[in-house]
Structure 1
């Protein structure tokens, strides 16, 4: 499978690609993006908070915990991830059928109910039930929000606006790590995990109310034949001289697709669609097999294994969140200057080297405080390349490459791969690190080295093209 774009340069962009939005229009787009990406903030918080909550949930009921064993800790942590896999799969289909806006509104309700349910859970069964429900919301948001923003954004701002979602994800994780450490020190340890989980209800409410004032995606409206509404929305988020040209391009693409059936599994019989979906699925799985969530979810556990105390490990984990936010902010800036392909390849090389360094610290250096902080430094280097290059390009590229009429469906399939791989890594990492220690990171490094070779053959360049131009390119180049 080779979906790499071998053309020497992108085709000449349309006027919609080259004319920059006026400050007023860009401010409206930024406001819409901030509101929608509260879904990303919830995604980040709900996946990050468990790292600090689990040590307190593992305590006996008399001490305010749930009496979790190592096995049930893994079940609680991975239940959200498993729910997210199916949330992505079905969330993408729902967004194609009912619209991006209505789907996100529904997800906000799920976020609220899931967060409240986990905070009040009296035992393991209820906790797993509501963590799974929360996972459905996380997965649905991960499949829907980037597509929604990409369809609203003009080509020249698409990279910055879509990666705002990744920035909100890592900001949510940083807030989770920070609030975990603060509450562990101030609220008291008896039942503190309930407060950690309950905080996520606040951004869920803000997401729901904010989305009431956000327009629907003009591309989705056009795909349903609602051209007048699509034109009105474009008029609100584009300058007048750009809106007409972009609307004509969208309408032309939708009209050309009018004779084709709605998105379904049958679409995979079309060779060029199968190539794109297969590439998207592979990109999603390989991004998780970097081992990023072994570090994001289990950072305190890793640091405890190096000899740090519980409170020191929780506090040191905040550095992971801070570096992730700084890295994504830097990645957003770099996307405006470099292509997606070189950034992704650079990130993969950096991630691979960092994993080798973590393994070296575990396997070669004697246990000491210095080794603990060298492991932390290597983890931070890993996150710098992962969040600054790999993750920013990953979410952006997935939102760009799929054709309009099956974008939600294909995005859902790809993100299903993300969460399925995430589930496997989350499930196997604790027993692996317990059994073979630092050699676990050498396994991840080997997988990442193979990923570099795969990306050299397959990754296309998507920078600077409208979504309609990308679709036309893939249709021509990858048709059987």
Structure 2
């Protein structure tokens, strides 16, 4: 496949759009991204903390394999609802104010879990956290994509996914420290959850001083507000030129695109929505989040002692962050489609190898846990380097402005539903068919994902959001995709 962008003018920039320049505006853009991605940090911590907290929680509250799945998946099912509702709220209320609301939910949910007297309140707390996580998974990437210049949109929007894996790594490290130092005291898992209150407070305070998305402001008719924001994060000439492009695109959008479910009247929007749903669901069918939630359980199943598994579980978290850092660079240098194809190929190979070695190395073999750990680390590294950031960036790019949060909300809703069912049934699946059957199943789904990306996913790297929007609405983006595939 050619890596040439068919929409780029000579020099890589659309005609009439001045190049990016250094200055205070670049620092301001970086600050906005840093504050907003505290939502990703909380997303990562609140989904990853269950990995080490689950076993002491189960012992204290007397949870069964099924109720463990309920505690884990309650957050995930709620996240599906949060993704859908969060997108709709942010379309009407604004990206910035929606993120402020999510910060409150993160804090309240954490406190409910920390002070939960039993199973019912614990699940309520996890549901509140899930609404916040799902909302953040939709709104933060859209907010970043709409603020970013097209030249660095991939790396800027991708920072949110990097913060997610940093949050998960922080959860693994904090779990390991707390579990090994205070593991014998009652309620140790409550301390693990309490840590999440701090970034929730930081997100709320920080977003009070952040600007709104200029593209959302234009869509709502606030041209002066959009101009003010763009001049804050762009040079003057670039801000003026970009504002003009956004206004023209929004005017076309208003005439041709209905909001919400009304957009389904456009067959090309339906097709791009199905692409968004497909890449989101296939990302989850790699089983990545089952490893992030139940990594300690998988490592104990493979032969590690419980406390050693808690420490060994840090390794996938470390490689996830390293892979995320590499992925940010890839977002600027490698086509989205190529990145996804490499990622699904590598993760599928890792699944097959985990399944094979779990057969070849029988229980009791001292090499078994270490070989499986190495393969799990390779799987997580492949996932974070080539898939996770690429998926979230692509989802934030492919939808028209007036339905961007709606389209991403629907896609991420389906992503979280797939995630939730895996979270609910993963313990039972491992219990029923073992590591071998579980990972062979993931491998089969990986083959389907490769076929889907090859035949359905268009390219968006190096294209302004306005150009992507225009070509999605006419179907032109698929024609370029087919031409590029023949070159």
1:20-70: CA deviation from partner (whole Å, max 9, x where unpaired): 2314222111110010000000000000000111110111xxxxx222122
The reply to whether residue 470 of structure 1 matches residue 465 of structure 2 is no
Q: 1:349 aligns with which of 345, 351, 358?
A: 345
Larger mean CA deviation between 4-13 and 42-51 belongs to 4-13
Aligned partner of residue 432 in structure 1, secondary structure = helix
Could you tell me which residue of structure 1 aligns to residue 43 of structure 2? 43
Q: Which moved more, 1:355-364 or 1:88-97?
A: 355-364
Question: Which whole-Å CA distance do the structure 1 matches of 2:148 and 2:162 have between them?
Answer: 17
Deviation, 1:289, is 0.6
Distance change >3 Å, CA 7–CA 273, structure 1 → 2 = farther
**Structure 1 stretches lacking a partner, 5+ long:** 60-64
Give the alignment's TM-score, normalised by structure 1. Answer: 0.95
1:20 correspondence with 2:16: no
- The aligned counterpart of 1:375 is 372
The Cα shift of 1:263 comes to 1.3
2-structure distance, mates of 1:257, 1:44: 34
2:315 aligned partner? 319
Over 3 Å counting, the alpha-carbon distance change for 1:18 and 1:294 in structure 2 is farther
- The answer to whether the 8 A contact 2:342-2:386 is kept is yes
Q: 1:106 to 1:460 in 2, by over 3 A?
A: same
Could you tell me whether the CA contact under 8 Å between 1:285 and 1:418 is conserved in 2?
A: yes
Match in the other structure for 2:394:
397
Pairing 1:254-273 to 2, within 5 Å after superposition: 254-259=250-255, 262-273=258-269
Q: Which residue among 164, 167, 174 is the counterpart of 1:169?
A: 164
Alignment partner, residue 447 of structure 1: 445
TM-score normalised over the length of structure 2: 0.94
Distance in structure 1 (CA, Å) of the matches to 2:157 and 2:143: 9
| Cα deviation 1:429-448 (Å, max 9, x = unaligned) | 21111111111100110110
* Alpha-carbon distance between aligned partners in 1 of 2:452 and 2:260, rounded to the nearest angstrom: 28
Alpha-carbon distance in 1 for matches of 2:149, 2:3: 24
> Is the CA contact 1:88–1:413 (under 8 Å) kept in the aligned structure 2?
yes
Q: Does 1:425 align with 2:408?
A: no
Give 1:18 deviation, angstroms: 6.2
Are 2:361 and 2:367, in contact at CA under 8 Å, matched by a contact in 1?
Answer: no
Q: 1:95 to 1:5 in 2, by over 3 A?
A: farther
Match of 2:145 in 1: 150
Following TM superposition, by how much is the alpha carbon of 1:15 offset from its aligned partner in structure 2, in angstroms? 5.4
Alignment partner, residue 62 of structure 1:
none
Structure 2 equivalent of residue 34 of structure 1? 34
Which of 405, 410, 419 is equivalent to 1:413? 410
Distance 2:253 2:145 in 1: 20
The offset of 1:200, in angstroms, is 0.3
Residues 1:234 and 2:235 aligned together: no
- Does the alignment pair 1:363 with 2:359? yes
Q: Which deviates more from structure 2 when the two are superposed, residues 470-479 or residues 380-389?
A: 470-479
2:5 and 2:249 mapped to 1: Cα distance? 25
**C-alpha separation in 2, matches of 1:7 and 1:274:** 27
| Distance of aligned partners of 1:216 and 1:8 in 2 relative to their CA distance in 1, 3 Å threshold | closer
Structure-2 change in CA distance of 1:296 and 1:479 (3 Å): closer
More off after superposition, 166-175 vs 67-76 = 67-76
Give the unaligned 5+ runs of structure 2.
479-487
State how far apart, in whole Å, the 2-side matches of 1:335 and 1:259 are: 32
**Correspondence list, 1:168-317, <5 A:** 168-189=163-184, 190-259=186-255, 262-317=258-313
2:97 match: 102
CA contact (8 A) 1:16 1:242 kept: no
Q: What value does the CA root-mean-square deviation take over the aligned residues?
A: 1.7
Distance in 2 (alpha carbons) for counterparts of 1:11 and 1:156: 11
Does the residue aligned with 1:406 lie in a helix, a strand or coil?
Answer: helix
Q: Judge which range, 210-219 or 186-195, deviates more.
A: 186-195
Hey, what's the Cα distance between the residues in 1 that align with 2:187 and 2:462? 51
SS in 2 for 1:215: coil
For residues 267-299 of structure 1, give each alpha carbon's deviation from its aligned partner in whole angstroms, at most 9, with x where no partner exists: 112111111111101111111011111211111
Shift in Å at residue 384 of structure 1? 1.1
Instruction: Give how far 1:16 is off.
Output: 7.3
Q: Which moved more, 1:67-76 or 1:401-410?
A: 67-76
Partners of 1:210 and 1:297 in 2: CA distance: 29
**How far does residue 260 in structure 1 lie from its aligned partner after superposition?**
5.3
Cα deviation 1:207-237 (Å, max 9, x = unaligned): 0000011100000000000011101110111
Find the aligned partners of 1:16 and 1:316 in 2 and give their Cα distance: 53
Distance in 1, Cα, partners of 2:420 & 2:356: 26
Q: Is the 8 A contact 2:280 2:411 kept in 1?
A: yes
Q: Residues 5 and 420 from structure 1, CA distance in 2 versus in 1: closer, same or farther, beyond 3 angstroms?
A: farther
Note if contact 1:16-1:155 (Cα within 8 Å) is conserved in structure 2: no
